[in-house]
A and B are shown apart, each in its own frame.
Chain A
Amino acid sequence: MANNPFKQHTGIAAPLLENNIDTDQIIPSREMTSVSKTGLTGGLFAGQRYIKGRTLNPEFVLNQPDYAGATILISGQNFGCGSSREHAVWALKEYGFRAVIAESFGEIFYMNCIRNGILPISLSADTIKQLPREITIDLVAQRIGAIPFDINQADRTMLLKGLDAVALTLEHKSDIEAFLLKDKKQRPWIYS
């Protein structure tokens, strides 16, 4: 499915500055109760966001008045490690997040972000600590305010244009078919 293009975005950046925040924390498995990519936002960070059932935990960053309406999440190393559940990204997206800034990302989580129009940015720990509460991300110029950032150009293009990867790949259908014909001769047991 195509996504909303990401060019520039200004928003409040909520800090969750721990390392190894896993997808079980982003959305616990018990919160995934239907075969759907939506209806997940209530489960976002459920383990920390609520106390005693569904009472909001005032200590959790997203429940603090300063970070109400945050659209950017800031974290440490290896954000989104663990389970492949794309529900973590769907829940973040449904909550309103457009970007995640971290020192590094879990590999599957990172690709899930790209596939859903969420911008994952890797920055050093020192740079992350200096980010103000409200920031402007410019993916065209690859800058956060005055700070430049790197991103793979294929991922950047996918986000800038909001492309659907399946549709894009299907443009190469004849190459795929030609490959399969040739491969079938070389590795027939794979196709039997």
Chain B
Amino acid sequence: MAQTLFDKLWDMHRVKTLSSGEDLIAIDRVFLHERTGSVALRSMLDTGRKPLRPKHVFCTMDHIVSIKTERQKDDARMPKGQNFIQATRDASKEAGIELIDVLSPEQGIVHVISPEMGIVQPGMTLVCPDSHTCTQGALGAMAWGIGSTDAEHAMVTGTLRQRKPPQMRITIDGAFQSGVTAKDLALYIIAQFGASGGSRAAIEYAGSTIEAMSVEARLTLCNLAVEFAAFTAIIAPDAITADYLKGRQYSPKDWEGATAQWATLKSDKTASFDIEYHIKAEDVPPMVTWGTSPEDAVSIFGAVPHTEKESSRDYMGLTEGAAMESLTLGGAFIGSCTNSRISDLRAAAAILKGRHIDKNLRAICVPGSMAVRRQAEAEGLDIIFKEAGFEWGAAGCAMCFYAGGDTFAPGTRVISSTNRNFKGRQGPNVRTHLASPAIVAASAIAGRICAPSELEKGGSNGQ
């Protein structure tokens, strides 16, 4: 019988079907971070349990670490944050797992460093107590976010009890219009089908648009699957995936054996899905959100729509019919597991070069990993960001969410390359508009929401 890629990975990892009807699914890798992994590790150890395969459990420090360039090993962004850092360090040692600590050269956001270090690989199962674990499906892995209790379960038993989710395929064909990115596509999909539209399904992204995408763009697309209420997202591995992984620290030593198996990891031609959608890439405009759910996204050339979500519109301080490009900004942020990789920074720097941000605005760029930061510095991008008036940080989740400490002032309107525009997500009463790194850069220059193409028409702002 014809199988989808997801069917194949599911069967490959099924230890057995339980009498409850759930499947016991083998978990190849567990990734943790200090925010939710610390409590999973502590709880596991306090119950007298140990990881079944400690070599296959990794932990990073990303959520609440200081993003200051001169940070020390215990420095956090939030009050009492050092408790999480120290508890994670102690528990990782006790559990015998690999910790990528604050001052490690590999440190960074879990979903940035896992691909970067070659930890996630095609055909693997990987879980993490972090909702954006779906990002890593971009490498052809079955990767999904879980709670802390299930993270304990995965570490101790090497498995999870899972019901097989329904399956969806979204096929995207053709070429994007100029200036449109994977981020715009993801927001377009959520706006089209709603924040519940993913129906708890495992989504395979397919089609010529996806086949032409870099791994980094695929990571951005898959990252937003959880905002679409999907179980996870996956993209069939191909030559682009293998080229990306070759020579990385944890990439398979048995390269030929691994790549031979990866070549089989695709949906059969006649495989059927529970839900299928088709999208033409040329229909996707550059997108920006207006409300407090990622589904509240419109073309950047559009206006605040008529809505029944009055509390959302009021929180954002908007009036119906206002042009998105007329909205004045007080902040701009480039970073997060969505858009903080080297290609994102290059796209933003191309716009910032020779220009300066609006004088009424605070702008921050935080690379997703220290490796991304080093690469950006080798290319001189840090100079471009700093000369344009951006703050330049050390790797972490940073301004993507607020846990106390430094952020934008209440009421500030912020354009952000992140994934969530929830009420209070970036700080009390901070108003978040989600967009691609290029739009964030152009908007920071203009001091209002602004498409890069508009900036080119008008030239620089006088710097």
User: Which A residues fall within an 8 A CB radius of B?
Assistant: 1, 18-20, 22, 24-25, 28-30, 32-37, 47, 77-78, 81-86, 89, 104, 106-108, 111-112, 115-116, 152-154, 157, 165-166, 168-170, 172-173, 175-176, 179-180, 183, 187-190, 192
**Chain B: minimal CB distance from A137 (Å):** 21
**Contact A189 to B257, CB < 8 A, known contacts A112-B147, A154-B22:** yes
- Total count of chain B residues near the partner, CB < 8 A: 71
> What is the bound-complex CA distance between A183 and B161, given in angstroms?
18
Residue pair A154, B257 in contact (C-beta under 8 Å): no
B163 in complex: contacting residue of A83, A152, A157, A169, CB < 8 Å: A152
* 6 cross-chain CB contacts under 8 A: A35-B87, A107-B229, A112-B147, A115-B150, A172-B18, A190-B28
Q: How far, in angstroms, from A34 to B35 measured CA to CA in the complex?
A: 10
Q: Is the CB of B293 within 8 A of A20?
A: yes
One of B18, B146, B253, B425 near A24 (C-beta < 8 A): B425
Binary A-proximity of B134-176 (CB < 8 A = 1, otherwise 0): 0000000000011111101100111101010000000000000
Return the contact of A47 from the options B84, B150, B423 (Cβ within 8 A).
Answer: B423
Residue ID in chain B nearest A116 by CB atoms: B149
Q: Does B403 reach chain A (CB closer than 8 Å)? A: yes
Are B422 and A189 interface neighbours, CB within 8 A? Answer: no
For A157, the chain B residues whose CB sits under 8 A away are: 20
Number of A-B contacts (CB under 8 A): 168
* Interface-side segment among B122-130, B280-288, B371-379, B388-396: B122-130
Assess the A35–B402 pair: CB atoms within 8 A.
no
Interface centre among B123, B159, B254 (most CB of A within 10 A): B159
Chain B min CB distance to A191 (Å): 8
CB neighbours (8 Å) of A18 from chain B are: 311
Q: Is the CB–CB distance between B253 and A189 below 8 Å?
A: yes
Asked if A169 contacts B145 (CB within 8 A), the reply is: no
In the complex, identify which listed stretch (B36-44, B65-73, B179-187) lies at the interface while the others stay far away: B36-44
- Cβ contacts under 8 Å, A85 to chain B: 35-36
Residue B96 lies at the interface, judged by CB distance under 8 Å to chain A: no
For B84, give the chain A residue with the smallest CB separation.
A35
Query: Chain B contacts of A84 at CB under 8 A?
Result: 36, 129-131, 145-147
Give Cα A29–Cα B425 distance, bound, in whole angstroms: 9
- A24 surroundings in chain B (CB, below 8 A): 401, 420, 422-425
Name the residue of chain B whose CB is nearest to the CB of A156.
Answer: B20
> Is B258 at the interface (CB under 8 A from chain A)?
yes
Most buried by A among B39, B121, B253, B311: B39
* Residues in chain A near residue B428, CB distance under 8 A: 47
**Closest beta carbon of chain B to A166's beta carbon, Å:** 5
Q: With A34-B83, A192-B253 as known contacts, state yes or no: A175 contacts B422, CB within 8 Å.
A: no
Q: Are the C-beta atoms of B145 and A166 separated by less than 8 Å?
A: no
**Cβ of A190 and Cβ of B124 under 8 Å apart?**
yes
Distance of A44 Cα from B161 Cα, bound (Å)? 29
Do B150 and A170 have beta carbons less than 8 Å apart? no
**CB–CB B39/A35 < 8 A:** yes
B257 touches A37 (CB 8 A): no
Could you tell me if B196 and A108 are in contact, using CB atoms closer than 8 angstroms?
no
Q: Give 20 new A-B contacts, CB below 8 A, not counting A25-B422, A152-B163, A189-B253.
A: A19-B196, A35-B83, A81-B195, A83-B131, A84-B36, A84-B129, A84-B145, A85-B35, A85-B36, A86-B147, A86-B148, A111-B146, A152-B21, A153-B20, A170-B157, A173-B157, A176-B15, A179-B15, A180-B158, A187-B123
In the complex, chain B residues whose CB is within 8 Å of the CB of A32: 35, 403
Residues of B with C-beta under 8 A to A116: 149
A115 and B83 in contact, given A107-B229, A176-B158 (Cβ under 8 angstroms): no
B338-375 near A? 1/0 per residue, CB < 8 Å: 00000000000000000000000000000000000000
A-contacting residues, B230-275, CB 8 Å: 231, 252-254, 257-258, 261
Q: Is there an interface contact between A86 and B36, defined as CB atoms closer than 8 Å?
A: yes
| Interface membership of B97, Cβ < 8 A | no
Q: Is there contact, CB below 8 Å, between A106 and B229?
A: yes
| Residues of chain A lying within 8 A (CB to CB) of residue B152 | 166
Which residues of A lie under 8 Å from residue B156 when comparing CB positions? 166, 170
Please name all residues of chain B whose beta carbon is closer than 8 Å to the beta carbon of A35 when the two chains form the complex.
38-39, 42, 83-84, 87-88
Residues from chain B with Cβ under 8 Å of A104 in the complex: 196, 229
Question: Of B79, B147, B229, B425, which is in contact with the most chain A CB atoms at under 10 Å from its CB?
Answer: B147
Asked whether B161 lies within 8 Å of A165 as measured between CB atoms, the reply is yes
- A18 vs B227: C-alpha distance when bound (angstroms): 17
Complex Cα distance A106/B131, Å? 10
- Find out whether the CB atom of B39 lies under 8 angstroms from the CB atom of A36: yes
Q: Indicate if the CB atoms of B293 and A192 lie closer than 8 Å.
A: no
Closest to B427 in A: A30
Query: Smallest CB-CB separation from A106: which chain B residue?
Result: B229
Closest to A23 in B: B131
Q: How far is the CA of A34 from the CA of B64 in the complex (A)?
A: 12
Least distance between B293 CB and chain A CB atoms (Å): 5
The interface residues of chain B lying within 8 Å CB-to-CB of A187 are: 123, 261
From A77, A173, A179, residue with most partner B Cβ within 10 Å: A179
Q: Is the CB of B15 within 8 A of A172?
A: yes
Using Cβ atoms and an 8 Å threshold, which residues of chain A touch B231? 107
**Residues on A with beta carbons closer than 8 Å to the beta carbon of B293:** 20
Residues on B with beta carbons closer than 8 Å to the beta carbon of A78: 195-196, 229
| Cβ-defined partner of A86 (8 Å) among B78, B87, B149, B422 | B149
A43 to B200, CA, bound (A): 28
Q: Which one of A81, A176, A180 contacts B229 once the chains associate, using CB atoms below 8 Å?
A: A81
Q: Which of B26, B80, B121, B227 contacts A176 (CB 8 A)?
A: B26
CB distance from A60 to the nearest CB of B (A): 13
> Which of A35, A116, A157, A179: most chain B CB closer than 10 A?
A35
Identity of the chain B residue whose Cβ is nearest the Cβ of A152 in the assembled complex: B163
